Amino acid sequence: MKKLEEIILSHGEVYGKDILKVDSFLNHQIKPKLIQEMAEEFADHFKDKNITKILTVESSGIAPALLTGLKLGCDVVFARKQKSLTTDDNTYSSTCYSYTKEEMKRLMVSKNFLSEEDNVLLIDDFLANGQAAKAMVAICKQAGANVCGIGIVIEKSYQDGRALLDDMGIDVYSLARISHMDGKEIDFID
Amino acid sequence: MKKLEEIILSHGEVYGKDILKVDSFLNHQIKPKLIQEMAEEFADHFKDKNITKILTVESSGIAPALLTGLKLGCDVVFARKQKSLTTDDNTYSSTCYSYTKEEMKRLMVSKNFLSEEDNVLLIDDFLANGQAAKAMVAICKQAGANVCGIGIVIEKSYQDGRALLDDMGIDVYSLARISHMDGKEIDFID
């Protein structure tokens, strides 16, 4: 998505080789029209997969997931992040390590909102090490739901997440794929 | 909003006189078309206020805020909740007590995304004691921004929040106003 790449270049803040801050349009302030264009890309790519539910993670996944759900005509569920590692009997859950926050989190989804009849599209803002994506896949497996693919706004292609999901046979569709980042420089995979 | 009242009656789960769980369409699973109808109500009510920015709180405020922003043509900012009470020099922040989670939270908004030139519409999922709303108003005051009003999905009118905001002279527009709740019974103010 060319427009997204341009906005990452003009508005993203890069710190070293790993941290890309996109607080001005995705992670803190949200630009609704831009998110709508992202959602149109996701909906177009996955339109023939008979998606019955979108699963994302709070908070930054909610905006692109909601507008994709509106376009595809399906409900959206956001997994809750809990620092507590306790489980609730009525939830599916999986732990993942957050590299940006340097802590373990448990993602939880109520059993009421995911079932073996669901064809699930996963949506997330970033794909880096793939930890959150892997946890969402694990949650779908617990529910017996079918994972149809994953839509990512920004993929750091030089980290392990993409390969991890490719190896699981999951259709990964990323709107911007960063091959290299360093201070002022950001390169994309076309 | 009659349709919302009906969905609260059919899908809401009431525990005692205080807790209303609406996880099936607002707080965990989201119904995009219903949220769009809410956003149309908000946008219609506040359309003449020259709103330049919407401020909400993660996570459940994001969906109605995003679609209202799309309709009004303005950006949305979601305040981040931090359990830590430390401040960051580059943020506006205010603490509030969460009665449902029984803990103090600090709401934070980057100084980059709110200014004295903004006419701000606040949006939130619930209004009960008004603690989160009050913190959002405080953040706007720190930024020198003008608060044009607040859009609430579900107001518990028998709690203090509404009176608190009325006393501050803020235009409160709630889509469903609950006058009384008790086990199986929910009454609305027409």
Q: Do A112 and B77 touch (CB under 8 A)?
A: no
Structure confidence at residue B103 (pLDDT): 85
Burial annotation A133-145 (CB, 10 A radius, 16+ → b, else e): bbbbbbbbeebeb
Distance (Å, whole) CA A46 – CA A36: 15
Structure confidence at residue B88 as a pLDDT band (50, 70, 90): confident
Task: Kindly state the tokens that stand for A93.
Answer: 């859950």
Q: Which residue of B has its CA nearest to A32?
A: B70
For chain A, the structural domain boundaries read 2-188
Q: How big is the A-B interface in CB pairs under 8 Å? A: 96
Q: Do B59 and A62 touch (CB under 8 A)?
A: yes
Taking contacts as CB-CB distances below 8 angstroms, the residues of chain A near B56 are none
Structure confidence at residue A83 (pLDDT): 62
Structure confidence at residue B85 as a pLDDT band (50, 70, 90): low
Residue closest to A76 by CA, chosen among A97, A57, A104: A57
Mean pLDDT throughout A164-183?
Answer: 96
Helix axes B32-46, B62-72, angle to 10 degrees: 50
CB < 8 Å from A in window 94-123 of B: 109-110, 112-113
Q: For the ranges A45-49, A98-102, A129-133, B1-5, which has the lowest average pLDDT?
A: A98-102
Structure confidence at residue B83 as a pLDDT band (50, 70, 90): low
Burial annotation A148-178 (CB, 10 A radius, 16+ → b, else e): bbbbbbbbbbbbebbebbeeeebebbbbbbb
Residue A130 among known ligand-binding residues: yes
Structure confidence at residue B92 (pLDDT): 96
Res. A30: pLDDT tops 60: yes
pLDDT, tens only, A121-164 = 999 999 999 999 999 999 999 999 999 999 999 999 999 999 99
Structure confidence at residue A84 (pLDDT): 57
Tell me A112's DSSP state.
G
CA of B4 to nearest chain A CA: how many angstroms apart? 16
Structure confidence at residue A102 (pLDDT): 82
Q: Which residue of A has its CA nearest to B112?
A: A24
Residue closest to B151 by CA, chosen among B122, B127, B179: B122
pLDDT, tens only, A63-87 = 999 999 999 999 999 999 976 566 6
Would you call A56 helix, strand, or coil by DSSP? Answer: strand
Mean pLDDT throughout A167-173?
Answer: 98
Res. B77: pLDDT tops 70: yes
pLDDT, tens only, B94-131 = 999 887 778 888 999 999 999 999 999 999 999 999 99
What rounded mean pLDDT belongs to chain B? 94
Q: Which residues contact residue A141 at a Cβ distance below 8 angstroms, ignoring those fewer than 6 apart? A: none
Count helices and strands (H / E) in chain B.
Answer: 5, 11
Percentage with pLDDT > 90 across chain A: 85
CATH number of A2-188: 3.40.50.2020
Percentage with pLDDT > 70 across chain A: 97
Res. B87: pLDDT tops 70: no
Q: What's the number of CA atoms in the CB half-sphere (13 Å) around residue A179?
A: 4
Query: Residue type at A38?
Result: M
Could you tell me if A182 lies within 8 Å of chain B, comparing CB atoms? Answer: no
Cβ atoms of residues B132 and B107 within 8 Å: yes
ipTM > 0.85 for the complex = yes
pLDDT, tens only, B126-166 = 999 999 999 999 999 999 999 999 999 999 999 999 999 99
Distance (Å, whole) CA A136 – CA B127: 31
